[in-house]
Structure 1
């Protein structure tokens, strides 16, 4: 059997599940869950947490999306350089 990363079920901490199987497991395990309601992270639906604010401080998916958004903003506000002949560098002649 090949190496697969394991994750911990948010509904039962004793469940160690292969990450690629986590979405299906969460659906099944949520049906039997009797604890306080968990919120679903909008950056990764497999993340179910009690305190979303605390979770977002360390959620890799959220942190990556912030970086991606910053890059997109930077690219959208970028002014293309102009050559001496008056044509944009990015625009083909």
Structure 2
């Protein structure tokens, strides 16, 4: 019984690699790859795919980034609270 998560090598589907070893394996395996060029996901460099648009629909790292970005937009666009003395929080004292 293994406690590690495994992934499939994007360059050779017969390679089942422990995820923590995937970056090193990809560099090695890419040298022997003779198929169509794969694009590198900018949200996780171990993701190598043919169709980036399709990949981004399912990529958990991309989806997490979008969620975080939405939160940041919500925080920056909120209205500052009004102080009890009647002055707006944005006006200097």
Superposition TM-score, scaled by structure 1 size = 0.88
Give 1:91's aligned residue: none
Structure 1, residues 29-85: CA drift from partner, whole Å, max 9, x if none? 000000000000000000000000100010000000000100011111122211221
The answer on 1:49 being equivalent to 2:49 is: yes
Q: Any idea what SS the aligned residue of 1:73 has?
A: helix
Please provide the CA RMSD for this pair: 1.4
The gaps in structure 2 that reach 5 residues or longer are none
Match of 2:66 in 1: 66
Gaps of 5+ in 1: 89-93
C-alpha deviations, 1:19-38, integer Å up to 9, x for none? 11100000000000000000
Aligned partner of residue 70 in structure 1, secondary structure: helix
| Alignment correspondent of 2:31 | 31
Runs of 4+ in 1 over 6 A off after TM superposition: none
Partner of 1:78: 78
Structure 1 CA distance, aligned partners of 2:61 and 2:2? 25
Q: Identify which range, 16-25 or 79-88, moves more after superposition.
A: 79-88
